[in-house]
């Protein structure tokens, strides 16, 4: 089992819809979780961090964490074509960041 797993996609949603991205992780003791956005040919950009169970909202983005299920998700409301990118889930296990392989999202105008 990989430390952090994501569906690679591709995920396609129409403009204005909600995009839902999911991530599971292997270490039940993990406390810190992050979502990064990576445009093609660019470096990852931090968009959300979450440390407590429940939801955390920032603009059109909502991160959801369920430590009992070892599951973290990212919802993007009112998706825009500019949201088309690869979304990377990252989890700190021990003293190290582990990244998933990313989910490719395409928002169709």
Partner 1 sequence: ETGVTQSPTHLIKTRGQQVTLRCSSQSGHNTVSWYQQALGQGPQFIFQYYREEENGRGNFPPRFSGLQFPNYSSELNVNALELDDSALYLCASSYTGTSREQYFGPGTRLTVT
- Rule CB under 8 A: which residues touch partner 1? 4, 32, 34, 36, 42-46, 49, 88, 90, 92, 94-102
**Which of 34, 64 has the CB closer to partner 1?**
34
Q: Backbone phi, then psi, for 96, in 5-degree steps?
A: -135, 140
Distances (CA, A) of 76 to 9, 20, 24, 29, 87: 16, 7, 18, 27, 11
Least separation in angstroms between residue 101's CB and partner 1 is 5
Least separation in angstroms between residue 78's CB and partner 1 is 25
Least separation in angstroms between residue 91's CB and partner 1 is 11
Q: How far, in Å, CA of 34 to CA of 23, rounded?
A: 10
């Amino acid at each position: 089992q990989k430390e952090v797993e994501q569906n690679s996609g591709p995920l396609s949603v129409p403009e204005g819809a909600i995009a839902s991205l999911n991530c599971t992780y292997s270490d039940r003791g993990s406390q810190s979780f992050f979502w990064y956005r990576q445009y093609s040919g660019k470096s990852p950009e931090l968009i959300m961090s979450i440390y407590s169970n429940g939801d955390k909202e920032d603009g059109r983005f909502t991160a959801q964490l369920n430590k009992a299920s070892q599951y973290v998700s990212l919802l993007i409301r009112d998706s825009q074509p500019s949201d088309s990118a690869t979304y990377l889930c990252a989890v700190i296990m021990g003293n190290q960041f582990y990244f998933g392989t990313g989910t490719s999202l395409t928002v169709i105008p």
